[in-house]
Amino acid sequence: MYLPDNITILGAGRTGLSCIKFLADRVRQLELVDEKISSEKLSQLVEQYPNVSVLGHIEEANLKLTDLIILSPGINPNREELDMFKDKCIGDVELFLRFVDKPVVAITGTNGKSTVVTLVGEVLRQAGINVGVGGNLGTPCIELLSNKYDIYVLELSSFQLELIDSVSAEVACILNITPDHLERHLTMENYINIKRKIYKNTKHFVFNRDDELTNIPSAAKDANSFGLSTVFDSYSSGLSADHRFLMLGTERVLETDKLQILGMHNWSNLLAVITICSNFQVPLDIVRDTLVNFKGLPNRCQIVKKENGVVWINDSKATNVSSTKASIKGVANQRRSIILFLGGLSKGQQFFELQDPLSKYVKLIILFGRDAKLIAEQIQHDEMLFVADLGDGIKHAEEFATKEDIVLFAPGCSSFDMFNDYVDRGNQFTQLVQER
């Protein structure tokens, strides 16, 4: 694969460093720009890659002369310094796609991506396929090229898809589309169009028939769906009429009461896995065994404590309104028994969309983080409490909770006001709960 002589990489996080490692011996001139790089990390990079120019400000980079600019996902391609050079900008996934020579399963969606990607990878692995799993989840896709896999399963975020020309996947799936990251993408239309780029030049399409925004292009010929309804297409998945079984066509795959993960939104995720894997003729007993043993990923509707009849659930991965709504509905019982933690960076979302589940299922809302007051202004509830930090909130939740209540940590916001990321946020919540 041809590479130009001069390449600039913006961002020295894990993605940027994976690109440096991949390109260091392949191009004549390589420079790395990171405006937040520490002196310690700078020294390490200079020692490890003496032929790479490491810069601390984008103004120091020679963007006019460079042939290609690789942006880390956290770098907004619409920033002013890049206006004149957008035709040179790609992301690490586009770089990966230019080199990969094996089939790619590409999965995106506002919510559920990591769960589905993890499970598809595990099902294929159990079927004896040598599979590489990564992208937005875990291993940057460029790192995956260091091993000779037979198939690649990638989680792709809107930030990554924004910088891709064409995925050309063997199988492409959009799980769902609801408002998110509008502070970067500006409009819902932009966000939808970016997500739908995953379908370009795809061989097999998988879409969510419960979400019309995921619908396939009209010209698509090879398409199957998943959804929380009955289905009669042999290669699409859904629920039995009595909701007792996950189905592939008319064939029963798994009893729902044997699942170890909470919520119908997770049933939808598992149905997506079933449909995606049907494209590879994986025996249903392998799919069944993998799904029935899955206990969920950390920070995703994870039960972290049961005490005095109260269940504490960490769903820190609920970083947007739609995922919080799904989380509430997924764990709710027939009464208002949920104590909900809500707060962080709101990302310009509309929190009034939570009003119905809040009214039906939530007895107390504990608000924290930078945008707590902004969120409170958009919702109506007779019990709302502002707290300074998680420790304070957990103390009040413990005092307020009674037998058969659920304390649900599903903040509906990004975490960067108070935490390193949603993982850090979830870990801190879990630790504080378990220490009490």
Give the tens place of pLDDT for each residue, 350-368. 999 999 999 999 999 999 9
pLDDT computed for residue 106 by the predictor: 98
Residue 232 to residue 230: CA distance in whole angstroms? 7
Could you give the percent of the chain with pLDDT greater than 90? 83
The last residue of one of the domains, among 273, 292, 311, is: 292
Q: Look at the chain and report how many structural domains it folds into.
A: 3
More confident residue, 388 or 166: 388
Q: Is residue 102 predicted with pLDDT exceeding 80?
A: yes
Q: Is residue 1 predicted with pLDDT exceeding 80?
A: no
Residues 253 and 130 in one domain: yes
Cα within 13 Å of Cα(282), Cβ side: 28
| 212 — pLDDT class (breaks 50, 70, 90) | very high
Whether residue 369 lies inside any domain: the answer is: yes
Residues 116 and 64 in one domain: no
331-345 average pLDDT score = 91
pLDDT computed for residue 236 by the predictor: 94
Whether residue 269 lies inside any domain: the answer is: yes
Q: Which distant-in-sequence residues (6+ apart) come within 8 Å of 395 by Cβ? A: none
pLDDT computed for residue 43 by the predictor: 84
pLDDT computed for residue 199 by the predictor: 95
| 211 — pLDDT class (breaks 50, 70, 90) | very high
Work out the angle between the directed axes of helices 390-400 and 422-435 (0-180°, nearest 10). Answer: 50
Q: The CATH number of the domain where 83 resides is what?
A: 3.40.50.720
Q: What is the pTM of this model?
A: 0.89
Q: The CATH number of the domain where 111 resides is what?
A: 3.40.1190.10
More confident residue, 269 or 230: 269
Residues 252 and 114 in one domain: yes
Q: What is the pLDDT of residues 393-413, one digit of tens each?
A: 999 999 999 999 999 999 999
201-230 average pLDDT score = 92
Q: Is residue 319 predicted with pLDDT exceeding 90?
A: yes
Residue 298 to residue 113: CA distance in whole angstroms? 14
DSSP 8-state code for residue 419: S
pLDDT computed for residue 45 by the predictor: 86
Residues 348 and 288 in one domain: no
Residues 394 and 369 in one domain: yes
Q: Is residue 232 predicted with pLDDT exceeding 80?
A: no
DSSP codes of every residue in 106-132: EEE-SSSHHHHHHHHHHHHHHTT--EE
pLDDT computed for residue 62 by the predictor: 87
| 273 — pLDDT class (breaks 50, 70, 90) | very high
Contact 153, 120 (CB under 8 A): yes
Q: Is residue 37 predicted with pLDDT exceeding 90?
A: no
pLDDT computed for residue 56 by the predictor: 86
More confident residue, 206 or 219: 206
Residues 80 and 126 in one domain: no
Whether residue 219 lies inside any domain: the answer is: yes
Residue 176 to residue 173: CA distance in whole angstroms? 9
Residue 391 to residue 406: CA distance in whole angstroms? 17
What is residue 272's three-state secondary structure? helix
Show which residues are catalytic. 113, 136, 181
Q: What is the largest CA-CA distance in the chain?
A: 66
| 338 — pLDDT class (breaks 50, 70, 90) | very high
pLDDT computed for residue 41 by the predictor: 83
Q: Name the residue type at position 370.
A: R
Residues 238 and 319 in one domain: no
Q: Is residue 111 predicted with pLDDT exceeding 90?
A: yes
pLDDT computed for residue 231 by the predictor: 80
Give the mean pLDDT of the chain: 94
Q: Is residue 22 predicted with pLDDT exceeding 90?
A: yes
Q: Is residue 235 predicted with pLDDT exceeding 90?
A: no
pLDDT computed for residue 414 by the predictor: 95
Nearest C-alpha neighbor of 237 from the set 223, 245, 248, 246: 248
Residues 398 and 307 in one domain: yes
The last residue of one of the domains, among 247, 270, 292, is: 292
| 141 — pLDDT class (breaks 50, 70, 90) | very high
Whether residue 170 lies inside any domain: the answer is: yes
Residues 308 and 394 in one domain: yes
pLDDT computed for residue 420 by the predictor: 93
Distances (CA, A) of 348 to 367, 371, 414: 17, 10, 11
Distances (CA, A) of 326 to 148, 215, 268, 333, 354: 38, 21, 11, 13, 10
The last residue of one of the domains, among 90, 116, 146, is: 90
Written as six digits, the tokens of 130 are 């040598």
Contact 387, 368 (CB under 8 A): yes
Residues 219 and 316 in one domain: no
Residues 232 and 348 in one domain: no
The alpha carbon of residue 273 and the mean position of all alpha carbons in its chain are separated, in whole angstroms, by 15
pLDDT computed for residue 376 by the predictor: 97
Q: Is residue 219 predicted with pLDDT exceeding 80?
A: no
Whether residue 297 lies inside any domain: the answer is: no
Range of 219's domain? Answer: 100-292
Whether residue 393 lies inside any domain: the answer is: yes
Residues in a beta bridge with 252: 247
| 51 — pLDDT class (breaks 50, 70, 90) | confident
The alpha carbon of residue 436 and the mean position of all alpha carbons in its chain are separated, in whole angstroms, by 31
Q: Is residue 433 predicted with pLDDT exceeding 80?
A: yes
pLDDT computed for residue 250 by the predictor: 92
Whether residue 1 lies inside any domain: the answer is: no
Residues 232 and 381 in one domain: no
Q: Is residue 239 predicted with pLDDT exceeding 90?
A: yes
Whether residue 95 lies inside any domain: the answer is: no
Residue 272 to residue 287: CA distance in whole angstroms? 12
Q: The CATH number of the domain where 321 resides is what?
A: 3.90.190.20
What is residue 338's three-state secondary structure? strand
